[in-house]
């Protein structure tokens, strides 16, 4: 087996047993990126020199018997994280010359564990998109079928794992941007509870919704990466100071008697037949594993998408006001006054989807419309959160599809924003509620495209969705399938 095909757990054992060096592993991944990324376009920046230097340092730690869980492990990160001395674009032309002066907290924690950062991954601009076509660096392609989208906005994060370009990655999830691409690319992606992982140094889209999440080839690898980046951070005012469990220690716990809720609002008319079949088979698997499946209701689900696209765009309008050509990023060369410089810099630097969302959010916050739109959306958010609170009094986990269809063709929805937004119909409620959820492979369409299963957990109960996913993984072979590039 090639080094780049190993799981994180397998690679950890080989490194610790001195069967292979981190430098050898890192070179194998860098060669894999060079050989495949012309087809996938997952990377914006490949940090070859920095990665090899980190690998040499990791080998010294391993030789001194000082290795941690991620020492010497090659990981790539979405280009939304500030990385000291490295280009950080957020997928946008407006930041195409921004060299971050500091590390985001999650990057610092990876470096503390001596992980090897291979590079920065392509994404929808400012994390606004569901297909990774809204990027200043050309679309990402799905490794299972390069004519299909990988999902978004963390499309590069999912595609690079599926293409064996990185053993695991970090993405962000504002309305499904870790889980939906994970489903489309046949990998595991986890959106932690809001406040579980620090957002310090993460370029903001919608501050009350954004959350950092790991993507990996299996549940065990995902748990290890979450363990590294989770935890309280005084630099982030939304970070919650509660203990982080040992996620790996509880993965193999028995799920007999676990109550799994099936929200009737997620099994709707219009759900793709292949998706419905795969999820139904997953339900049958859980029943055979001894779990108890019960139908439940989340009655305000129908309002979630509308509420989300008011709250998220309003926050985006505020967060993106800082990009004006003054302190960092693109500055128009043709302006003849201060106001003209602001206007031209933003017009030249932002893509069409970012402009659309800024305008939506600015309108929702404007005088005379705030109460009718933004305030009402916040009330809807409260109702959605209350739905989850009530249903978790009766069940331990919720089971749903991740996306209503498998990965769709590139270009199919790029000119139809409403259809694109509806791609996240099953993931958005989780962000509004602020709780945790995971996507894991559960089958394939007749066309050979991966299908994802979503498990939703109680706030700060990532351990339960991880062990529930692990039980399914051990009973099936879907996570072992690999895209043939």
Give catalytic residues, as residue numbers: 78, 153, 177
Q: Cα separation of 219 and 216, whole Å? A: 7
179-193: burial string, b at 16+ Cβ within 10 Å, e else: bbbbbbbbbbbbbbb
**Run of H or E residues at 81:** none
User: Closest Cα to residue 312, out of 184, 462, 424?
Assistant: 424
Residue 467: beta bridge partners?
Answer: none
Half-sphere exposure of 30 (CA within 13 A, CB side): 19
- What angle, 0 to 180 degrees and rounded to 10, lies between the N-to-C axes of helices 22-40 and 155-162? 120
- Cβ of 304: how many Cβ atoms within 10 Å? 27
**Run of H or E residues at 292:** strand 292-296
The distance of Cα 205 from the centroid of its chain, to the nearest Å, equals 14
Question: By 3-state DSSP, what share of the chain in percent is helix, strand and coil, each rounded to 5?
Answer: 45, 15, 40
């Amino acid at each position: 087996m090639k080094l780049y095909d190993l799981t994180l757990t397998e690679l950890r054992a080989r490194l610790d047993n001195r069967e292979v060096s981190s430098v050898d592993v890192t070179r194998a991944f860098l060669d894999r990126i060079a050989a495949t990324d012309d087809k996938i376009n997952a990377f914006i920046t490949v940090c070859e020199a920095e990665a090899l230097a980190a690998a040499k340092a990791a080998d010294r730690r391993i030789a001194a018997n000082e290795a941690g869980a991620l020492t010497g492990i090659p990981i790539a990160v979405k280009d939304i994280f500030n990385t000291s001395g490295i280009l950080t674009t957020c997928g946008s032309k407006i930041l195409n010359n921004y060299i971050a002066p500091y590390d985001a907290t999650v990057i610092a924690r990876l470096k503390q564990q001596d992980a090897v950062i291979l590079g920065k991954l392509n994404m929808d601009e400012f994390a606004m998109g569901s297909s990774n076509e809204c990027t200043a660096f050309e679309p990402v392609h799905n490794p299972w079928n390069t004519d299909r989208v990988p999902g978004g906005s963390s499309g590069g994060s999912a595609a690079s794992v599926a293409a064996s370009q990185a053993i695991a990655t970090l993405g962000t999830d504002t309305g499904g941007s870790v889980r939906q691409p994970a489903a489309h690319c046949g990998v595991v992606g986890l959106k932690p509870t809001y406040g579980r992982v620090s957002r310090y140094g993460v370029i903001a889209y919608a501050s009350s919704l954004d959350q950092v999440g790991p993507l990996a080839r299996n549940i065990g690898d995902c748990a290890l990466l979450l363990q590294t980046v989770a935890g309280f951070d005084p630099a982030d005012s939304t970070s919650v100071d509660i203990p982080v469990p040992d996620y790996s220690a509880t993965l193999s716990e028995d799920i007999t008697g676990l109550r799994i809720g099936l929200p009737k609002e997620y099994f709707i008319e219009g759900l793709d037949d292949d998706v419905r079949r795969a999820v139904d088979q997953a339900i049958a698997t859980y029943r055979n594993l001894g779990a108890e499946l019960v139908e439940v209701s989340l009655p305000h689900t129908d309002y979630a998408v509308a509420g989300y696209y008011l709250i998220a765009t309003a926050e985006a309008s505020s967060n993106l006001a800082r990009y004006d050509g003054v302190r960092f990023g693109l500055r128009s060369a043709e302006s003849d006054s201060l106001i003209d410089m602001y206007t031209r810099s933003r017009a030249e630097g932002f893509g069409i989807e970012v402009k659309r969302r800024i305008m939506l959010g600015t309108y929702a916050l404007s005088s005379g419309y705030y109460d009718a739109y933004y305030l009402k959306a916040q009330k809807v958010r409260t109702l959605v959160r209350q739905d989850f609170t009530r249903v978790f009094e009766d069940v331990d986990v919720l089971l749903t599809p991740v996306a209503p269809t498998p990965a769709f063709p590139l270009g199919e929805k790029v000119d139809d924003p409403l259809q694109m937004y509806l791609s996240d119909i099953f993931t958005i409620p989780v962000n509004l509620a602020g709780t945790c959820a995971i996507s894991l492979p559960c089958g394939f369409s007749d066309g050979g495209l991966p299908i994802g299963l979503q498990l939703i957990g109680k706030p700060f109960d990532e351990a339960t969705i991880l062990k529930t996913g692990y039980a399914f993984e051990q009973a099936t072979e879907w996570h072992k399938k690999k895209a043939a590039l």
